[in-house]
Amino acid sequence: MDRVRYVRKLLFRLVDASMAAPFMKQNLTKHEMRRVQGQLGQAYRVLLGNPTGHYRLDLGVQQDRDLAQRLANLCADERDECLARYGKGFDTSQHQNGFSFRNELLDNEPFVVTPTFIGEVRAAAC
């Protein structure tokens, strides 16, 4: 297994996204870093600490399930932080559930992402 593949897998396991760029710079050449970015696609920005954007995920693909899980974890952490800091009165979510997901679709139908759904995605991956 080459370094690009190892680093790509390890990026999903890093707890602190701020460590992703230094980790890659320490272990990869610039060419290898571009390969990682190309292979990770839409997951790259999320893993480097910028989860904003639009995503089209295929939950039949392991990397997309991992990305969905990462996004859900970030969302839950943000929700918990806002609840602790501002209380229940501060909820700017689209569905008034504290989650930052907006305009979700599942199989091209309107859908609301919930913690239960994310748990089901995680269980299906096992």
**Residue 19 burial (CB count, 10 A):** 13
Residues 70 and 115 in one domain: yes
Let me know if residue 53 belongs to a domain. Answer: no
Q: Which domain holds residue 30?
A: 3-47
Does residue 89 lie in a domain region?
Answer: yes
Together in a domain, 112 and 78: yes
Same domain, 69 and 106: yes
Asked whether 50 and 42 are in contact (CB, 8 A), the reply is: no
Judged by average pLDDT, the poorest of 96-100, 114-118, 119-123 is 119-123
- Could you report the per-residue pLDDT of 37-93, keeping only the tens digit for each? 999 999 999 999 998 888 998 888 889 988 988 888 888 888 888 888 887 777 778
Q: 22 and 68, same structural domain?
A: no
Same-domain pairing of 36 and 68: no
pLDDT 10s digits, 26-37: 999 999 999 999
Q: Is residue 54 part of a domain?
A: no
**Number of structural domains, the chain?**
2
Tell whether 67 and 22 lie within a shared domain.
Answer: no
DSSP calls for 57-126: --TTSHHHHHHHHHHHHHHHHHHHHHHHHH-TT----TTSSS----S-EETTEE----HHHHHHHHHHH-
Confidence of residue 122 (pLDDT cuts 50, 70, 90): low
Q: Do 8 and 39 belong to one domain?
A: yes
In-domain check, residue 116: yes
pLDDT band at 126 (very low <50, low <70, confident <90, very high): low
Residue 119, pLDDT above cutoff 90: no
113 and 68 in one domain? yes
Q: Is residue 99 part of a domain?
A: yes
pTM of the complete model: 0.80
At residue 41, the pLDDT reads 93
Domain identity same for 71 and 116:
yes
pLDDT at 125: 59
Pair of tokens at residue 94: 């689209």
66 and 115 assigned to the same domain:
yes
